[in-house]
Chains A and B, each alone.
Chain A
Amino acid sequence: MSDDVKYVLKRVLVGVLIFLCISFIKTRKVEALSTVGFNTWEFVYRDNTVGQNWNNSFIYRLGEQKSLLAVNVYWPSFQGYYNGTLTIQFDPAQFSNGSLKLTNQYFKLFVFQNNSYSQQYYIGTCDGDLTCTFNFQGTAEQLSTNNFSVQLLINNDAFSTAYIFYPAARISASVYVSDESNSGNNDIINNQNENTQNIINNQNEITQNIIDSNKVCDTLDKNDIVTDNKYLNNTGGYYDNTSYGVSDYIDVSESEFTVINEFTHSSVYYCFYTDNKTLISCSKSSNFTNNTVIDFPNNTKFVRFSFNKINNKPIIRVCKNGNQALNDFISDSDVSPGLGQDYFTNFSDDNPLTNIVLFPVHLLQAASSTCSPVSLSVINQVVDIPCGNTIFWDKPYASSFRTWWNLFVGGIAIYYLGLKLFKTINNAIDPFKDDFEHLGGM
């Protein structure tokens, strides 16, 4: 047998071994996931008929930002009784038993009535392996706007520290509403109110600690409004509302810069912008807690807030980490008045040349990041392309196909990367073969 044949056979054997290893890893039953690709979702039940069941489910892909899932239920104006469950289930094909632990740092569930912060009932946290279920029930008060909502707070930061790829989860909820009275529910709600108050008190304490540790702070209130009687919509445009006002562009270029909410207040709308004030994204938070910290998207330079000005309370506290004492003694302007600011203004490292040269790096970085759906504008029609790596959910007949697909595509990629690694290590074994003249003194 020639050396060439042996060479080929050796590599085929290595490839088969890698295939077998992957097949052992991925022989679990594949269930789950039909479609994916959004950071927030809302189910709305609109039915004026009392005593109906509502249920639905969807797949949620964990993103990079903290997010809120709202399940809104609307009903006629009466004192009603609600009983429901909310379940979070992760794809068992992606996580073998024990590889993912759902802890109370990931999910928190609240019930809101009449979209009022003061009528927020804390339900509980989530602990389990791949599935956890919240049960909630209670009596809704007579509501002028006829709605209450179950809101799931999802802390995606906790996932980002544990996994390179963000997992997807199926979240399903069902709610039954009726006009049946239930005297026992008052006790439940009272307990929930007490729990909520304890949480708020703890959050106040945490917020104060955070603020104390940040020496440079400023507070936004209605005096900071530059565009009155409007608020920002989700595209950065204005909506007319005499109760609201919009702040100026706030420079948040320092990486330590955070925004800490310290109010009991209605909705706050805010938008992120790049250094040339191009809109990055907008968001709305209707249930800020007292220690909520807003995470800025990459490349954020400015933030604008729009907020309700009616109650004349401080809206947002903005802080930058730093040493106040040091700043009191000396600053850039003290050393060289105007020079530092003038010289380094517009000295940005985000220029087209750097961006083009770093395209391969950015591409690799993007490929290893969370998938987000892409919207394309085709002949005045917006086409959404959802993420597709969970197309096997709820398709048991496709499970075997996925296994073989992983074997062939993943196996081939791993095989060639393994060969490349082998060559790399071989080259690294004798790293000084060209350097004897440099090492003569040793």
Chain B
Amino acid sequence: MVNAFLKGLFSVITNLTSIILTPIWVGINAVIGNSAADFLTPVSNLFDYLEQFAPLSVSYLGLTSNTLDIIILLVVANITIPISVHVVKLALRWYSALKI
């Protein structure tokens, strides 16, 4: 369940960011052409290259799976609690506005 939640959270963040940035990217390309892609693609590729070392680095930490599970769960909790609170606040604001 934690695994599914984690994947779902990443998917939501990725897709929402993509929805926001894709029109911006299309606009940039429309204005300045391919030079933006020529500049940013190598940077993007560099990040892709660096990402493959992340699981390798974690594996070389030598931590057991139990410890890693606890760390991941705490990170997820730290991320999701503020998001959940803000969502509740937003819902209450909408409720309040509609009630008035």
Q: Quick one: which of A353, A354, A387 has the most chain B CB within 10 A?
A: A353
Q: Quick one: which of B37, B67, B75, B99 has the most chain A CB within 10 A?
A: B67
A116 within 8 A of B: no
**Majority SS at the chain B contact face:** helix
Minimum C-beta distance from B81 to chain A (A): 5
Contacting residues, chain B, for A361 (C-beta < 8 A): 10, 13-14, 17
Instruction: Check B62 against A389 for contact (C-beta < 8 Å).
Output: yes
A16 within 8 A of B: no
B74 contacts which of A36, A165, A358, A418 (Cβ < 8 Å)? Answer: A418
A337 within 8 A of B: no
| Whole-angstrom CA separation of A365 from B12 in the bound complex | 13
Minimum C-beta distance from B82 to chain A (A): 6
A442 within 8 A of B: yes
Do A371 and B58 contact each other (CB < 8 Å), given the known contacts A410-B71, A442-B99? yes
| Whole-angstrom CA separation of A370 from B58 in the bound complex | 10
A368 within 8 A of B: yes
Minimum CB distance partner of B75 in chain A: A417
Instruction: Check A421 against B67 for contact (C-beta < 8 Å).
Output: no
Do A374 and B81 contact each other (CB < 8 Å), given the known contacts A161-B3, A356-B44, A421-B74? no
| Whole-angstrom CA separation of A349 from B25 in the bound complex | 9
| Whole-angstrom CA separation of A425 from B85 in the bound complex | 10
* Segment among A51-59, A133-141, A264-272, A433-441 that sits at the interface with chain B: A433-441
Contacting residues, chain A, for B81 (C-beta < 8 A): 421, 424-425, 428
* Segment among A1-9, A303-311, A401-409 that sits at the interface with chain B: A401-409
| Whole-angstrom CA separation of A387 from B53 in the bound complex | 10
| Total count of chain B residues near the partner, CB < 8 A | 61
Instruction: Check B71 against A414 for contact (C-beta < 8 Å).
Output: yes
| Whole-angstrom CA separation of A160 from B74 in the bound complex | 20
A392 within 8 A of B: yes
B22 contacts which of A167, A351, A410, A413 (Cβ < 8 Å)? Answer: A351
Minimum C-beta distance from B79 to chain A (A): 9
| Whole-angstrom CA separation of A359 from B49 in the bound complex | 11
Instruction: Check A420 against B78 for contact (C-beta < 8 Å).
Output: yes
Do A94 and B56 contact each other (CB < 8 Å), given the known contacts A355-B47, A362-B51? no
A432 contacts which of B37, B40, B89 (Cβ < 8 Å)? Answer: B89
Minimum C-beta distance from B12 to chain A (A): 10
Sample of 30 A–B contacts (CB below 8 Å): A26-B64, A161-B3, A164-B6, A165-B65, A348-B22, A349-B19, A353-B25, A354-B21, A355-B48, A357-B17, A358-B14, A361-B17, A362-B47, A363-B54, A366-B55, A367-B57, A371-B58, A387-B55, A389-B58, A402-B64, A405-B63, A413-B71, A414-B67, A418-B74, A421-B78, A425-B81, A427-B82, A431-B85, A432-B89, A442-B95
Enumerate the 8 nearest inter-chain pairs by beta-carbon distance, A residue then B residue, closest first: A389-B59, A410-B67, A417-B74, A352-B44, A352-B40, A366-B54, A371-B55, A349-B18
Interface residues in chain B, defined as those with a beta carbon under 8 Å from any beta carbon in chain A = 2-3, 6, 10, 13-15, 17-19, 21-22, 24-26, 28, 37, 40-41, 43-44, 47-48, 50-72, 74-75, 77-78, 81-82, 85, 88-89, 92-93, 95-96, 99-100
Interface residues in chain A, defined as those with a beta carbon under 8 Å from any beta carbon in chain B = 22, 25-26, 36, 93-94, 160-161, 163-165, 167, 347-349, 351-359, 361-374, 385, 387-392, 402, 405-406, 409-410, 413-414, 417-418, 420-421, 424-425, 427-428, 431-432, 435, 438-442
